Chains A and B, each alone.
Chain A
Amino acid sequence: MANFFERIGSVVIRTSQQIVSVLALFVDTIYWLVIGPFRKKTAKRQSIFEQMLFVGVRSLLIVFFVALFTGIVIAMQTAPQLESLGAVIYVAGLVAVSITRELGPVLTGLVIAGRVGAAMSAELGTMKVTEQVEALESMALNPVRFLVVPRFLALVIMLPCLTILADAVGIFGGYLIGVFNLHINPGLYMDTTFRFLTSKDIMTGVIKSFVFGGIIALIGCHYGLNTSGGAEGVGKSTTTSIVTSFILIIVADCILTAIFFFTNV
């Protein structure tokens, strides 16, 4: 019995240590982001753009792919029910709102966590185990300023951008089914879409993706920078970082949705 409680205790302690150290990394990142420019110690512009290219432009294809098929699937899944109510035209509104409010930001976040978050923790983890992080420190170059800030910035800027594009592509996916399969008039489909879609729908989605971007960057960098134990350690921290990002994205999604729901945003 004591063993059982001991195990629970050690899990709680380890988890709270992780939370504290992620929060510390967050504070550190914000410090370098806000105070850094005043001390003339900004992150390198070149590495910020490199990261933005990697996070944003290079992820376009896979994000579009996921969004397009999600739009198609929602339209196909809901069409029979709505048809039986004689309200098949509402497919347009349903696809638009569910994509912009929920599926666009969440699925884009998950895809980017898998693609970019994993790459970040693998890269930083490798740098850590091959002494490159220590080398930075020995040159009086802060690893947070050098490695974390560009990644954090790239993600919180590019993930909302990707989400907006994913919204558009997802709506287009629904449009394909609506027009070519359900034979709704194309003009009427778009008209209905914009009748249901408000700017608030898009904004709440963008706010969510902004938060998800921060989560992916911090978790990816945290597990990367705390890697130890060679190649095996890099594998372990990469896996942990993806799993943790996924869970946190879902939890944050729930919390944010609850906030939007109860404050009637």
Chain B
Amino acid sequence: MAQKEVVIDIRDVYKRFGQRQILSGSSLEMYKGETMVIMGGSGCGKSTLLRHMIGAIKPDSGSVHVMGRDIANMGEEELDAVKKKFGMLFQSSALFDSLSVKENVAMPLREHTKLDENIISIMVKMKLELVGLRGFENLMPAQLSGGMKKRVGLARAIAMDPEIVFYDEPTTGLDPIMAGVIDKLILDLSKKLSITSVVVTHDMKSVFRIADRIAMLHEGKVVQAGTADEIKNSSNPIVRQFINGDPEGPINFFMDKDNYLEELTK
């Protein structure tokens, strides 16, 4: 383990939005080339944690280092330089509605490189081939299905040949086959291009399909982080409940019964 290079290092991050404490001391390390899955229930702070890693949110306290650099305390120029080294696939794909598939994928290349139009065109085709959508260049996002949008979003995320790709709930809202396709793409990309992948999801099927390592997030804290096998055989009751999907356990979705009568009659 010691020789592995740490790509993302999250130390003791606290974050509060208004009255709600979202993250309360999350710490996590991610190594080069691995696929790290961050799982947890809705509202546990996993998307917030992801947004800390891409520099969209600054922590109240604690630090986030991406590729050895403190992403929370850098100037805009520096942050932009780091941002060019990673790609992100959004939950809703976030394709630009007014641009065609080709223009969407070409966008980062056009803006950040001085490549010739012909070369950009070739690169777009190559990226679309990787996600199995060659020949769809001229369609608009509105004409695509959810799964196709995700794949175009993925092609756009890897357009700049990033070192890290972040996935925000990549399989949510897709049918099982399409979810399988997306999972396979994530695996292929990290193996073929040796990309570090950070996946935020609560889709248990896909978690064990793609993960090298898994971190379980609960109430703003990392409950357990380890290899896929370690998590699968975990004895931690929170992790067990989440994997098995038990309605009852340490993660409680119902209010305390004690003051129920009191609140009803208040």
**A: which residues have CB within 8 A of B?**
126-127, 130-132, 134-135, 137-142
Partner-contacting stretch, out of B24-32, B62-70, B88-96, B187-195: B88-96
A-B contact count (CB 8 A): 44
Most buried by A among B83, B88, B94, B96: B94
By a CB distance below 8 angstroms, the chain B residues around A138 are 54, 56, 83, 86-88
Residue B107 lies at the interface, judged by CB distance under 8 Å to chain A? yes
Considering only CB atoms, which chain A residue lies closest to B51 in the complex?
A: A134
Q: Is the CB of B112 within 8 A of A134?
A: no
Docked Cα-Cα span, A139 to B84, in Å, equals 6
Docked Cα-Cα span, A134 to B54, in Å, equals 10
- Please judge, given known A-B contacts A138-B54, A139-B108, A140-B112, whether A130 and B92 are in contact too, CB under 8 Å: yes
By a CB distance below 8 angstroms, the chain B residues around A132 are 94-97
Q: Is the CB of B90 within 8 A of A139?
A: no
Q: Is the CB of B111 within 8 A of A134?
A: no
Q: Is the CB of B84 within 8 A of A135?
A: no
Smallest distance from the beta carbon of A52 to chain B beta carbons, Å?
A: 16
The one of A126, A130, A131, A140 that contacts B83, using a Cβ cutoff of 8 Å: A140
Q: A139-B107, A139-B108 are in contact. List 13 more A-B contacts (CB 8 A).
A: A127-B96, A127-B97, A130-B94, A131-B90, A131-B92, A132-B94, A135-B96, A138-B86, A138-B88, A139-B112, A140-B81, A140-B83, A142-B76
By a CB distance below 8 angstroms, the chain B residues around A142 are 76
Interface of B is mostly: mixed
By a CB distance below 8 angstroms, the chain B residues around A134 are 56, 90, 94
Docked Cα-Cα span, A141 to B110, in Å, equals 11
Most buried by B among A126, A134, A135, A137: A135
**B: which residues have CB within 8 A of A?**
54, 56, 76, 79-81, 83-84, 86-88, 90-92, 94-97, 107-108, 111-112
Smallest distance from the beta carbon of B104 to chain A beta carbons, Å?
A: 9
Q: Is the CB of B111 within 8 A of A131?
A: no
Q: Is the CB of B96 within 8 A of A140?
A: no
The one of B76, B81, B90, B112 that contacts A135, using a Cβ cutoff of 8 Å: B90
| A-B contact list, 23 entries, CB within 8 Å | A127-B96, A127-B97, A131-B90, A131-B91, A131-B92, A131-B94, A132-B94, A132-B96, A134-B94, A138-B54, A138-B56, A138-B86, A139-B107, A139-B108, A139-B111, A140-B79, A140-B81, A140-B83, A140-B84, A140-B112, A141-B107, A141-B108, A141-B111
Smallest distance from the beta carbon of B140 to chain A beta carbons, Å?
A: 14
Smallest distance from the beta carbon of B109 to chain A beta carbons, Å?
A: 10
Smallest distance from the beta carbon of A53 to chain B beta carbons, Å?
A: 13
Smallest distance from the beta carbon of A32 to chain B beta carbons, Å?
A: 12
By a CB distance below 8 angstroms, the chain B residues around A139 are 83, 107-108, 111-112
By a CB distance below 8 angstroms, the chain A residues around B87 are 138
Smallest distance from the beta carbon of A6 to chain B beta carbons, Å?
A: 18
Docked Cα-Cα span, A135 to B112, in Å, equals 15
Considering only CB atoms, which chain B residue lies closest to A132 in the complex?
A: B94
Q: Is the CB of B88 within 8 A of A135?
A: yes
Q: Is the CB of B80 within 8 A of A140?
A: yes
By a CB distance below 8 angstroms, the chain B residues around A130 are 92, 94, 97
Docked Cα-Cα span, A126 to B97, in Å, equals 10
Q: Which 6 pairs show the lowest CB-CB distances between chains A and B?
A: A140-B83, A135-B94, A131-B94, A140-B80, A138-B88, A131-B90
By a CB distance below 8 angstroms, the chain B residues around A126 are 97
Docked Cα-Cα span, A155 to B68, in Å, equals 44
Considering only CB atoms, which chain B residue lies closest to A130 in the complex?
A: B92
Considering only CB atoms, which chain B residue lies closest to A133 in the complex?
A: B94
By a CB distance below 8 angstroms, the chain A residues around B83 are 137-140
Smallest distance from the beta carbon of B96 to chain A beta carbons, Å?
A: 6
Docked Cα-Cα span, A131 to B166, in Å, equals 14
By a CB distance below 8 angstroms, the chain B residues around A137 are 56, 83
By a CB distance below 8 angstroms, the chain B residues around A127 are 96-97
Considering only CB atoms, which chain B residue lies closest to A137 in the complex?
A: B56
By a CB distance below 8 angstroms, the chain A residues around B79 are 140
Considering only CB atoms, which chain A residue lies closest to B160 in the complex?
A: A139
Docked Cα-Cα span, A64 to B91, in Å, equals 45
Docked Cα-Cα span, A139 to B81, in Å, equals 10
By a CB distance below 8 angstroms, the chain B residues around A135 are 88, 90, 94, 96
